[in-house]
Amino acid sequence: MEQTPLLKVNNIEVIYEHVILVLKGVSLDVPTGGIVSLLGANGAGKTTTLKAISNLVKAERGEVTKGTVEFEGKRIDKMYAPAVVKMGLIQIMEGRRTFEHLTVEDDLLTGAYTRGHDVKGIKESLEMVYKYFPRLVDRRNAKTGYISGGEMQMCAIGRALMAKPKLMLLDEPSMGLAPLLVQEIFEIIVQLNNEENVAMLLAEQNANMALQFAQYGYIMENGRVVLDGDADTLKDNADVREFYLGLTEIGKKSYRDVKHYKRRKRWLA
């Protein structure tokens, strides 16, 4: 008997404004304490998948019309987003989205909203966040609109951590950050995964980075999952190597050869 996964997305379909079909049957699992990545190009449906799970699609006039989303064995696809956060599933949206007129500390504290007036627990969490992101300590009284992009991303992750999540949905944490900073952020994500036992579902365009840190991966195109497998298997898959990692059998592709040899994907999108 296989252990039930922490998150189970079962063949969901998402429609925006009652007409636009964005997801056409997406299924995926995230095991307890695992790191799973969701890869795909712009417009493949990664963000919509995450928002369907966290129930934020409703705030954009979208709707899960078919399929189910289960978290810890309970259906959450009809719930209100804050109730899902209270259960321990939180999304860190693309583009960081800190509250720019709030100070870093106030911003972090908003993450603990669902925990009510547990003053002592919240204070401990705040200290934990500062431990993982020591850079935020110096900026705690600065408005988040004035801190750097990397600090904003740290603030956004820290804020999510304040909710004591069991699963974090991260949407493009690498976006717009310098490579070194991306490396640093990913290392912290892995550290949080190990030490705080937070499972991660990571939507990324940076396939290289995502497959390096994840155990399992799904590849999306046109609102469907077209391929999934262990991160190592995916890394070795010829199509993934060519289309997502920019590698071919002979190393970097030379544009001189493009005319003669055009590889076709072996899946149908």
Partner 1 sequence: MAFFLEVLFNGLLVGIMYSLVALGFALIYKASDVFNFAQGDMSLFAGLALVGFLTVMPLWLALICTIGVMTILAYGTVFIVFRPLVARPPLILFMAAIGLSFLVQGIGQSIWGTQPKGLFLGIPEITFDIKEVFLNTFDLTFGGVAGVLVVGLVLFFQKTRTGRALRAVADDHEAALSVGIPLLRAWAVTWMIAGIVATVAGVAWGSRLGVQFSLSLIAYKALPVLILGGIDSITGAILAGLVVGAGENLAEVFLGPYVGGGIQTFFPYLLALLFLWFRPYGMFGKEIIERV
Q: Where does residue 58 rank: exposed (0-12), middle (13-18), buried (19+ CB within 10 A)? A: middle
Taking CB under 8 A as the criterion, the residue among 10, 33, 67, 86 binding partner 1 is: 86
User: Is residue 234 within the footprint of partner 1 (CB under 8 A)?
Assistant: no
User: Is residue 247 within the footprint of partner 1 (CB under 8 A)?
Assistant: no
Neighbouring CB atoms inside 10 A of 72's CB total 16
168 Cβ neighbours under 8 A, 6+ residues apart? 90, 91, 92, 157, 160, 161, 192, 198, 199, 200, 201
Q: Provide the token pair at 38.
A: 């969701």
Helices 149-161, 179-195: axis angle to 10 degrees equals: 10
Of 41 and 109, the one with the shorter C-beta distance to partner 1 is 109
Of 6 and 160, the one with the shorter C-beta distance to partner 1 is 160
Of 59 and 180, the one with the shorter C-beta distance to partner 1 is 59
Q: Where does residue 143 rank: exposed (0-12), middle (13-18), buried (19+ CB within 10 A)? A: middle
Of 85 and 202, the one with the shorter C-beta distance to partner 1 is 85
Of 41 and 181, the one with the shorter C-beta distance to partner 1 is 181
Q: In whole angstroms, how close is the CB of 224 to partner 1 at the nearest point? A: 25
Place of tokens 């504290």: 109
User: Is residue 34 within the footprint of partner 1 (CB under 8 A)?
Assistant: no
Please state, in angstroms and rounded to a whole number, the distance separating the CA atoms of residues 140 and 103.
6
| CA-to-CA dists, residue 156 to 54, 63, 129, 181, angstroms | 16, 26, 11, 15
Taking CB under 8 A as the criterion, the residue among 11, 20, 43, 60 binding partner 1 is: 60
Tell me the per-residue interface mask from 104 to 143 with partner 1, x by CB under 8 A, - otherwise. --xx-xxx-xx--x-------------------------x
User: Is residue 90 within the footprint of partner 1 (CB under 8 A)?
Assistant: yes
Please state, in angstroms and rounded to a whole number, the distance separating the CA atoms of residues 187 and 173.
12
Q: In whole angstroms, how close is the CB of 110 to partner 1 at the nearest point? A: 5
Question: Rule CB under 8 A: which residues touch partner 1?
Answer: 54, 56, 58-61, 80-82, 85-86, 90-93, 97-102, 106-107, 109-111, 113-114, 117, 143, 145-146, 149, 159-160, 163
